[in-house]
């Protein structure tokens, strides 16, 4: 299968090129030229299929013969070696817990899949690679964990100063080795803009092979579709319309769900639930897309004012606002509403969400009230609540101690480089670092 640029000013490429390049030569994002429909036997077997096998079957439909079947199966089984349970909240609402991996965030799936694919292709090319990633929290830690000690790969994680939680920062800055943490004076949008400039810099890319590990890379996006199939397989009562409520910032997770829907998964609609960084909910209401500077909230991974994957959503909907509205219901919530949701879920349902999951639950509840009160809604719980100051006291009161994954980094020494929001300084570092 070939992959084309959303800007449509460069030639289609194979998956390996899209993976190792990250961003197309014309600055666009890669999309599959066609989205495969999964065969009938897949749907018959899905309810009894393991998550690992589901992932392999979906990945195979996108990668074709670019990687040997046994190698792709090994990568998928290794990537998906942790649980993703569906937990009931009430009659209509369930949550899919995606935080049981090494860094306790859903981005473990995409980062582990991508790192293993890159390692495979680089072993054939005998060439070193620099990976640059911007993070508002969980992406950086998942990428760091996924790529740690992968031969031939140096990782540069750009995170905004004072805008990630202390535990998230430690998950980024305590690796050493081939993981370089760069603290940027600015917002996530500034970090993302620096990463995109790096990928588009012809001089830098002539000297080094450079790619992205953000969801602008198609290899981060594809594996995130796996767990939508897995969630549907776990759902017993399928007579109601199935809706996913997705906490959304850069919109990679929701875009992956749209791919699953296009592959044949019977998803009635998506809820794009954002915090007060609401550029997409404003588009939903007005048909006008106006990126704005992001601002800080307690659901920090969603603090994005110009989501990259908006371009992919527009491709999937042919830039048609009505098609967007038919497939996606978008809404936004304040920090105060998020705090109230956390306490409501804890006190009334004995369930403690993280702030991002709380926003998704609010979106699910609003959808039931305003759109369809008979839907089956699954909201994505994307990170462990203990990673966030807002929920940590409540978690410690419930459980008494940190989860093992977080306890392991609690007293580790941090190491990072502080940089201004200045591309020439970042370029100098990347150009001459080993």
Residues with Cβ within 8 Å of 351's Cβ and at least 6 positions away in sequence, in order, are 87, 89, 95, 345
Please give the helix or strand (H or E) that residue 417 lies within, else none.
strand 417-419
| Predicted pLDDT of residue 434 | 64
Q: What is the dihedral of CA 161, 167, 171, 174, to 10 degrees?
A: 80
Which parts of the chain have pLDDT scores under 50?
Answer: none
Beta bridge partners of residue 332, listed in sequence order? 274
What per-residue confidence (pLDDT) applies to 167? Answer: 87
Residue 98 near residue 381, CB atoms below 8 Å = yes
The DSSP code sequence of 214-274 is STTSHHHHHHHTHHHHHHHHH----SSPEEEEEE-SSSHHHHHHHHHHHTT----EEEEEE
What pLDDT is recorded for position 238?
67
Token pair for residue 412? Answer: 């580790």
Mind listing the pLDDT tens digit for each residue in 232-254?
999 866 689 999 999 999 999 99
pLDDT given for residue 237 in this prediction: 60
Joined together, the tokens standing for residue 362 give: 């609010």
Cα 171–174–177 angle (5° rounding)?
120
What the block records as the tokens of 110 is: 């995409």
What is the domain partition of the chain in residue ranges?
Answer: 83-106+221-399
In CATH, the architecture of 83-106+221-399 is 3-Layer(aba) Sandwich (3.40)
Distance separating alpha carbons of residues 60 and 57, to the nearest angstrom = 5
What separation in angstroms does the CA of 26 have from each of 256, 308, 329, 399? 23, 15, 31, 50
pTM across the whole model:
0.92
The three-class DSSP label of residue 88 is strand
- Residue 245's φ and ψ, nearest 5 degrees, are -100, 120
């Amino acid at each position: 299968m070939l992959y084309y640029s959303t800007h449509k000013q460069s030639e289609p490429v194979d998956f390996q090129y899209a993976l190792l390049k990250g961003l197309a030569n014309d600055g666009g994002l890669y999309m599959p030229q066609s989205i495969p429909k999964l065969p009938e036997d897949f749907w018959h077997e899905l309810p009894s299929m393991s998550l690992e096998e589901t992932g392999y079957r979906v990945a195979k439909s996108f990668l074709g013969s670019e990687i040997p079947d046994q190698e792709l199966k090994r990568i998928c089984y290794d990537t998906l070696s942790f649980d993703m349970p569906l937990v009931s909240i009430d009659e209509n609402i369930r949550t899919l817990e995606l935080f049981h991996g090494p860094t306790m965030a859903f981005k473990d799936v995409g980062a582990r899949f991508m790192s293993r694919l890159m390692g495979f292709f680089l072993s054939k090319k005998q060439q070193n690679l620099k990976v640059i990633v911007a993070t508002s929290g969980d992406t950086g830690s998942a990428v760091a964990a996924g790529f740690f000690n992968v031969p031939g790969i140096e990782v540069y994680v750009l995170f905004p100063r004072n805008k990630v939680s202390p535990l998230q920062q430690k998950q980024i800055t305590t690796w050493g080795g081939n993981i370089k943490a760069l603290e940027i004076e600015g917002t996530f949008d500034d970090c993302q803009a620096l990463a995109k400039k790096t990928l588009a810099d012809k001089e830098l890319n002539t000297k080094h092979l450079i790619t992205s590990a953000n969801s602008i890379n198609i290899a981060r996006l594809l594996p995130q579709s796996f767990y939508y199939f897995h969630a549907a397989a776990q759902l017993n009562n399928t007579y109601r319309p199935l809706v996913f409520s997705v906490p959304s910032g850069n919109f990679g997770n929701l875009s992956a769900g749209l791919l699953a829907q296009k592959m044949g998964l019977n998803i009635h609609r998506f809820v794009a639930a954002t915090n007060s960084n609401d550029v997409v909910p404003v588009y939903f209401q007005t048909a006008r897309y106006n990126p704005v500077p992001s601002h800080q909230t307690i659901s920090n991974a969603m603090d994005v004012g110009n989501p990259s994957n908006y371009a992919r959503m527009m491709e999937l909907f042919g830039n048609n606002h009505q098609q967007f509205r038919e497939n996606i219901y978008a809404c936004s919530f304040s920090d105060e509403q998020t705090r109230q949701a956390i306490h409501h879920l804890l006190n009334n349902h004995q369930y403690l969400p993280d702030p991002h999951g709380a926003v998704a639950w609010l979106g699910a509840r609003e959808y039931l009230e305003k759109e369809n009160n008979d839907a089956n809604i699954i909201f994505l719980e994307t990170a462990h609540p203990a990673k966030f100051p807002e929920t940590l006291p409540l978690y410690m009161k419930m459980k008494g101690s940190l989860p093992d994954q977080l306890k392991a980094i609690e007293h580790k020494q941090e190491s990072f480089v502080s940089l201004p929001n200045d591309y020439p300084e970042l370029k100098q570092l990347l150009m001459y670092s080993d």
